[in-house]
Amino acid sequence: MDIVLITGANSGIGRATAVRLGAAGCRVYAAMRDLGKAGKLLDAAGAAGSEVHTVALDVTDDQSVRQAVEAVLGEAGRIDVMINNAGIAWNATTEDIDIEAAKVVFETNYWGAIRCLKAVLPQMRERRSGHIVNVSSVTGRIAAPAQTVYASSKWAMECMSENLAQEVTSFGIRVSVIEPGVTRTAILPKNLTHPEPTAYGAAYRRMLNFYAAGIAANARPEAVADVIHEALTTDEPRFRYPCAWASSSLALGRAGMSDREWIEMGAVATDEEYYERFERHFGLDIRPSG
């Protein structure tokens, strides 16, 4: 039975994954900042016949991470799987970034994952066994317009994961990167604003229409949880696992474009022409419905 610690487990992909892995027989420690928000997780776990243990953990706080990991190790004796899932989104073009406010994105999405890794890796190395799962995003493979900080944090996670995979393979530790596209979770309704006033209205409008198309596609967090379970159990492991709406299409489409073609997308004058080019390059129709 694997002992699993997953961050950001009170909602969305984290909650779905905690329930999925608990139902599969793992002993799951579902971490979140506020244990008072664990109700929906525990209800879902109960309905699925999945045993889930909750633990308080704030990935932006060194002491909180150390205490949570020590508590799990003290109770379970080991951590076999660390799933770095906690993350927050942030809409802003580069010029519009409020630097001080936006620092929380890297503190959560990037440094938060590293804090957790530093806490769990020593016992994995000692046992010469373990699996790290970093939940990145397709924005780690493509510079998502009007999301400079968020996409950069995920690009950084992709780089860190590649480095980590080389660093720990000789200790018997495997690393997997999950790259969801748009997934219908609680993060989306919280991510519909952007800085104003701004000179970059077209970029925000087109970005939000992309997400509206993704919301309409209704990719569920349970589908991502299934992919994470596959990454943990497959006999033919891969390093990267694109999943949910548009992930593969965006990564493959961008790989097939020249840098010039990508940059010129930003010079398109009308939304309709932008949507036509987007569909041509990525095979996705993001025109507003109606």
CATH classification at residue 103: 3.40.50.720
Task: Examine residue 198 and state whether it is found in any structural domain, yes or no.
Answer: no
Task: Examine residue 202 and state whether it is found in any structural domain, yes or no.
Answer: no
Task: Examine residue 201 and state whether it is found in any structural domain, yes or no.
Answer: no
Task: Examine residue 55 and state whether it is found in any structural domain, yes or no.
Answer: yes
Task: Examine residue 286 and state whether it is found in any structural domain, yes or no.
Answer: no
∠ at Cα 219 (215, 222), nearest 5°? 135
First to last CA, the chain: 50
| Weakly modelled stretches of the chain, pLDDT under 70 | 186-191, 290
Task: Examine residue 114 and state whether it is found in any structural domain, yes or no.
Answer: yes
Q: Which pLDDT score is estimated for 218? A: 87
Structural domains counted in the chain: 1
Model confidence pLDDT, tens digit, residues 120-154: 999 999 999 999 999 999 999 999 999 999 999 99
Give yes or no for a contact between 79 and 5, defined as CB atoms under 8 angstroms apart.
Answer: yes
Residue positions annotated with a catalytic role: 136, 150, 154
- Give the domain extent around 165: 3-189+220-253
Q: Which pLDDT score is estimated for 36? A: 95
Q: Which pLDDT score is estimated for 17? A: 98
Q: Which pLDDT score is estimated for 116? A: 98
Task: Examine residue 137 and state whether it is found in any structural domain, yes or no.
Answer: yes
Strands (DSSP E) contained in the chain are: 3-6, 27-32, 52-56, 81-84, 130-135, 173-180, 240-243
Task: Examine residue 29 and state whether it is found in any structural domain, yes or no.
Answer: yes
Tokens of 194: 């952007």
Model confidence pLDDT, tens digit, residues 13-53: 999 999 999 999 999 999 999 999 999 999 999 999 998 99
Tokens of 51: 């045993």
